[in-house]
Amino acid sequence: MKSHSEMLSLLDAGDPSLYDVVTSGPGPEGTLPLTDDILRNRPSGDAFGMSQDAGMGWTPSETAGPQYVLLSTLGGVRADDGTPVALGYHTGHWELGLALRAAAEEIRRAGGVPYAGHCSDPCDGRSQGSPGMYDSLAYRNDAASIFSRLARSIPAARGVLGVATCDKGLPAMMMALAGLRRMACVLMPGGAMLPPSAGEDTGKIQSIGVRYVHGEIALESAAEMGCHVCASAGGGCHFLGTAGTAQVVGEALGMTLPHAALAPSGQPIWIDIARRSALTLMEMVRRGTTIGDVLSDASVRNAMAVFAACGGSTNLLIHLPAVAFSVGLRRPTIDDWTAVNRRVPRLVSVLPNGPVDHPTVRVYLAGGVPEVMLRLRDLGLLELDAMTVSGLTVGQTLAWWETSPRRTALRALLRERDGVDPEDVIMTPVHAAALGVTSTVCFPRGNLAPDGSAIKSTAIDPRVVDAHGVYCKTGPARVFTREVDAVAAIKGRGDRTIKPGDVIVLMGRGPAGSGMEEVFQLTSSLRYLSWGHEVALVTDARFSGVSTGACVGMVAPEALAGGPLGRVREGDRIRIVIDRNRLEGAVDLVGDAQREFSPEEAARVLASRAPHPDLTPDPLLPPQTRLWAALQNVSGGTWGGCVFDVDAILARL
For residue 602, pLDDT over 90 is answered with yes
Eight-state DSSP code of residue 204: G
46 domain-assigned: no
- For residue 1, the model assigns a pLDDT of 81
- Alpha-carbon span 139 to 169, nearest angstrom: 8
Residues 6+ apart with CB under 8 A from 278: 68, 102, 103, 104, 106, 107, 161, 186
Please state, for a pLDDT cut of 90, what percent of the chain lies above it.
Answer: 93
Q: Are 441 and 245 in contact (CB under 8 A)?
A: no
**HSE on the CB side for 181, CA within 13 Å?**
12
Burial class (CB in 10 A: 0-12, 13-18, 19+), 142: middle
Residues 474 and 360 in one domain: no
Report the mean per-residue pLDDT for the chain.
Answer: 96
- Do 385 and 466 fall within a single domain? no
State whether 382 and 504 are in the same domain: no
Integer Cα distance of 611 and 592 in angstroms? 16
- Predicted confidence at residue 23, as pLDDT, reads 97
Give the pLDDT mean for 39-44: 96
The answer to whether the beta carbons of residues 512 and 642 sit under 8 Å apart is no
Cβ contacts of 439 within 8 Å, gap of 6 or more: 308, 341, 342, 344, 345, 346, 457, 458, 580, 581, 583
Residue 419 shares a structural domain with residue 487: no
Annotated catalytic residue 544:
yes
Q: What is the CA radius of gyration of the chain?
A: 26
* pLDDT the model gives residue 430: 96
Is the pLDDT at 563 greater than 80, yes or no? yes
- Model pLDDT, residue 525: 87
Whether 617 and 631 map to the same domain: the answer is: no
Written in H, E and C, the secondary structure of 460-488 is: CCHHHCCCCCEEEEEEEEEEECCHHHHHH
462 in the same domain as 382: no
* 49 within a domain of the structure (yes/no): no
Question: Do 120 and 255 reside in the same domain of the chain?
Answer: yes
Domain containing 500 — which CATH number? 3.50.30.80
Q: Looking at the domain assignment, is residue 434 inside a domain?
A: no
16 inside domain: no
The reply to whether 165 and 258 lie within a common domain is yes
pLDDT reading at 345 higher than 80: yes
Q: Answer for the pair 390, 280: CB distance below 8 angstroms, yes or no.
A: yes
Q: What is the mean pLDDT of residues 350-376?
A: 96
In contact, 570 and 500? CB cutoff 8 Å? no
The letter for the amino acid at 295 is L
Q: Are 531 and 500 contacting, i.e. CB atoms less than 8 angstroms apart?
A: yes
301 and 336 in a single domain? The answer is: yes
Pick the catalytic residue: 136, 439, 544, 635?
544
Strand order in the sheet with 184-189: 113-118, 67-72, 157-164, 184-189
Same domain flag for 362 and 495: no
The values of phi and psi at residue 541, to 5°, are -80, -175
Q: Is residue 212 part of a domain?
A: yes
Determine the average pLDDT of the residues in 80-86: 94
401 shares its domain with 471: no
Residue predicted with more confidence, 494 or 172 = 172
pLDDT per position as a tens digit, 88-112: 999 999 999 999 999 999 999 999 9
Task: Flag whether 10 is in a domain.
Answer: no
Q: Is there a contact between 303 and 249 (Cβ–Cβ < 8 Å)?
A: yes
Among residues 634, 633, 613, the alpha carbon closest in space to that of 515 is found at 633
Look up the domain containing 501 and give its range. 457-621
β-bridge pairing 536-539 and 551-552: parallel
57 falls within a domain: no
How far apart are the C-alpha atoms of 174 and 329, rounded to whole Å? 14
Check pLDDT > 80 for residue 616. yes
pLDDT digits (tens, 9 = 90+) for 530-541: 899 999 999 999
pTM: 0.97
Among residues 92, 122, 128, 89, the alpha carbon closest in space to that of 524 is found at: 128
Residue 547 confidence class, pLDDT cut points 50, 70, 90: confident
**Region for residue 408 given its phi and psi (left: phi exceeds 0; alpha: psi -120 to 50; beta: otherwise):** alpha
In this prediction, residues 374-396 reach a mean pLDDT of 98
* List of residues 6+ apart from 112 with CB closer than 8 A: 65, 66, 67, 68, 158, 282
What lies within 8 Å, CB to CB, of 419 at 6+ separation is none
Question: Does the residue 361 lie in any domain?
Answer: yes
DSSP 522-583: HHHHHHHSTTGGG-EEEESSB--TT--SSEEBS-SS-GGGT-GGGG--TT-EEEEEEETTTT
Q: How many CA atoms lie within 13 A of 518 on its CB side?
A: 27
Domain count, the chain: 3
Check whether the bond before 599 is cis (ω within 30° of 0): no
Note whether 250 and 263 are same-domain residues.
yes
Q: What is the pLDDT of residues 422-461, one digit of tens each?
A: 999 999 999 999 999 999 899 999 999 999 999 999 999 9
